[in-house]
């Protein structure tokens, strides 16, 4: 590739990353606004059984934002991948709808099962994007980054997201099938408590993931600048 083409590619990569980061901030800001609106009355009226759902909603926003940020820094570049970007809009639409249901466990678990399925689809799409860019990971550090990205994507596709979908679907079925025990008996709090535990673990996993990749990402950016 001629030098001027490499320089143009580097500039376009920066533009795409800027677009992605702006998009992530905007759509998750809107999701957070939906959660805040839904949380006002439960907080003011001291509806304590709703508070775990509000906290879980905040974790959902933080997870989407942090994981999307890691994806962007790790492999997003030119050309702009519209399928990946459109997937963000679709997943956020379901996410925002779920966040409005903090006072209704049945709708909450049903919509979050759909949201987990949407995220599952995003991971599958992103794996295809990463594999199509394998040739761009040429140096030793870049290959290590590539292998780590693929390993994480596959872990989410094969294990974590199917587990999340299954749990949310079972939780919805339990609340729908046994409303007296789950709602009046407050057993739904056990289900949302397990969701909080998983969400905290997953959020921490994202922090660990970025720490592990930061030197590889830095090395890749330095290599692109040298080539540009």
What are 3-50's pLDDT values in tens digits? 666 666 667 778 888 888 899 999 999 999 999 999 999 999 999 999
Tens digit of each residue's pLDDT (9 = 90 or more) over 117-142:
999 999 999 999 899 888 878 788 88
Burial status of residue 42 (CB atoms within 10 A of its CB: 0-12, 13-18, 19 or more): middle
Question: Does the pLDDT of residue 227 top 70, yes or no?
Answer: no
Instruction: State the residue for tokens 């249901």.
Output: 101
What is the model's pLDDT at position 98?
A: 97
**Residue 225: band (very low, low, confident or very high) from pLDDT cuts 50, 70, 90:** low
Cα 216 from Cα 18, distance rounded (Å): 20
What are the residue boundaries of the structural domains of the chain, listed by start? 3-227
What is the model's pLDDT at position 137?
A: 84
Asked which of 55-64, 70-79, 86-95, 126-135 is least confident by mean pLDDT, the reply is 70-79
Tens digit of each residue's pLDDT (9 = 90 or more) over 193-213:
999 999 999 999 999 999 998
Cα 173 from Cα 166, distance rounded (Å): 11
Instruction: State the residue for tokens 């989407």.
Output: 64
Cα 215 from Cα 124, distance rounded (Å): 25
| Mean pLDDT value of segment 70-84 | 80
Question: Does the pLDDT of residue 59 top 80, yes or no?
Answer: yes
**Residue 1: band (very low, low, confident or very high) from pLDDT cuts 50, 70, 90:** very low
| Mean pLDDT value of segment 89-96 | 96
**Residue 111: band (very low, low, confident or very high) from pLDDT cuts 50, 70, 90:** very high
Asked which of 76-80, 98-102, 166-170 is least confident by mean pLDDT, the reply is 76-80
C-alpha torsion angle, residues 77, 79, 83, 86 (rounded to 10): 70
* pTM of structure: 0.90
Using alpha carbons, list the distances in angstroms from residue 194 to 1, 42, 181. Answer: 52, 21, 17
Residues 6+ apart with CB under 8 A from 85: 20, 23
Tens digit of each residue's pLDDT (9 = 90 or more) over 151-189:
999 999 999 999 999 999 999 999 999 999 898 888 999
């Amino acid at each position: 590739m001629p030098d001027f083409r490499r320089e143009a590619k580097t500039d376009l990569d920066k533009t795409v990353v800027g677009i992605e980061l702006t998009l992530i901030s905007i759509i998750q800001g809107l999701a957070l606004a939906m959660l805040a609106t839904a949380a006002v009355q439960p907080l003011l009226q001291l509806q304590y059984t709703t508070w775990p759902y509000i906290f879980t909603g905040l974790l959902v926003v933080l997870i989407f934002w942090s994981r999307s940020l890691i994806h962007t820094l790790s492999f997003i570049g030119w050309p702009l991948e519209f399928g990946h970007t459109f997937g963000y809009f679709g997943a956020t639409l379901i996410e925002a709808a779920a966040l409005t249901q903090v006072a209704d466990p049945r709708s909450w678990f049903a919509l979050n099962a759909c949201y987990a399925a949407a995220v599952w689809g995003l991971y599958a799409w992103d794996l295809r994007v990463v594999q199509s860019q394998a040739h761009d990971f040429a140096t030793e550090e870049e290959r290590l980054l590539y292998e780590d990205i693929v390993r994480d994507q596959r872990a989410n596709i094969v294990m974590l997201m199917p587990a999340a979908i299954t749990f949310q679907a079972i939780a919805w079925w339990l609340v729908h099938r046994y409303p007296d025990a789950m709602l009046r008996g407050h057993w739904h709090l056990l289900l949302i408590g397990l969701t909080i535990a998983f969400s905290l673990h997953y959020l921490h996993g994202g922090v660990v993931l970025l720490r592990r990749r930061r030197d590889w990402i830095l090395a890749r950016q330095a290599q692109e600048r040298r080539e540009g």
